[in-house]
Amino acid sequence: MTKDNLRYFPQRFTFILNPYKDTRLSSCPKCRRLTHMRKFALLIHIEKFGFLTLGKTCRYCSPCELIMAHQDELEDELVHVFENQSPEIIGNPYLVFGTVDIKWWKQSLGTSGESLSQLLEHVTQFKSVLDLKMTGGWQPEKKPRPVK
Ligand SMILES: [Zn+2]
């Protein structure tokens, strides 16, 4: 992958990786409307590995085009992917970069494997990635943060 490949992705969706286990995001943190569940094929870049496409059911707000994933669930699934094949990858820094067209991704499953260039033609980069910040009366319990 060269820098040139990274430049021209269409951009769509805002993404939040929710670090709070007790916050279920049943309403949208931006507009307060109810969210619903939708499956996305998330494109994740993992250091020393490269790109991984992970099918993941996320909370979604259609008016905001906001995708919300729980960090602990996402990381559990990453562990599951790597624990047998490449356990040395587990714990590496990663970045949820965007989504892959879900129809294309489903079709490509079970075929002899997609090439990276084919995959990149179906990628949508996130427009922005937000931090979830809690304010007011519903602060999550204080928990020790994992040391990185
Ligand atoms: Zn919203």
**pLDDT digit string, tens, across residues 6-51:** 557 999 999 999 999 888 899 999 999 999 999 999 999 999 999 9
The answer as to whether 118 is a domain residue is yes
Calpha distance 69→63 (Å, rounded):
17
Residues in Cβ contact with 49 at an 8 Å cutoff, skipping those fewer than 6 apart: 82, 86, 89, 92
Quick one: DSSP state of residue 143? Answer: -
Q: Whole-model pTM? A: 0.82
The answer as to whether 146 is a domain residue is no
CB–CB of 136/23 below 8 Å? Answer: no
Q: What is the pLDDT of residue 138?
A: 46
Cα(140) to ligand 1 centroid in Å equals: 21
The answer as to whether 62 is a domain residue is yes
**Considering its fold, how many domains does the chain have in total?**
1
The answer as to whether 76 is a domain residue is yes
Cα(48) to ligand 1 centroid in Å equals: 35
Cα(100) to ligand 1 centroid in Å equals: 22
> What is the per-residue pLDDT across 51-87, written as a single tens digit (0 to 9) for each?
999 999 999 999 999 999 999 999 999 999 999 989 9
The answer as to whether 144 is a domain residue is no
The answer as to whether 143 is a domain residue is no
Q: What is the pLDDT of residue 94?
A: 94
Q: Which domain holds residue 54?
A: 3-129
